[in-house]
Amino acid sequence: MEATDAARALLAAIVADHGPVLLILSGGCCDGTAPMCYPEGEFLLAPDDLRIGAVDGAAVYLPAGLAPLWQGGLTLDAVPGRGGGVFSLDNGREAHFVARSAVCLKP
């Protein structure tokens, strides 16, 4: 699990405002694998959610079924603009989280 400086800065700002958080790549219908950020203890993890690492103390999870897709490694990044995750704590900020993987890069 890696993170860019931009992701670490966004995460630090969110933690300063909300306290400890977790991140999950849910694979859901609306935001797909966009990393979603929630207050620690307020998001109910599924029984098959796997902890794949942590970024500056924030645990990162994904469903077990998605694990093979991210075997090449995962980098948490943040990019300018508002994300679509209305429930994620990065919503309403001038940057949002994205997941990057060498497996998903175009040649």
Domain extents for the chain?
Answer: 2-104
In angstroms, what is the C-alpha Rg of the chain?
Answer: 13
Residue 75 half-sphere exposure toward CB, CA atoms < 13 A:
13
pLDDT tens digits in sequence order for the chain, 107 residues long: 899 999 999 999 999 999 999 999 877 655 566 899 999 999 999 999 999 999 999 999 988 888 777 776 889 999 998 776 678 999 989 999 998 876 655 55
pTM of the entire predicted model: 0.87
Which option is the CATH number for 2-104: 2.60.300.12, 3.40.1030.10, 3.40.980.10, 2.160.20.70?
Answer: 2.60.300.12
pLDDT of residue 106: 52
pLDDT of residue 22: 97
**DSSP for 5-45, written as a single string:** HHHHHHHHHHHHHH-SEEEEE--BTTTBT-EEEEETTSS--
SS3 category, 57:
coil
d(CA 53, CA 18): 21
Tokens 């994904």, located at residue: 62
pLDDT of residue 13: 97
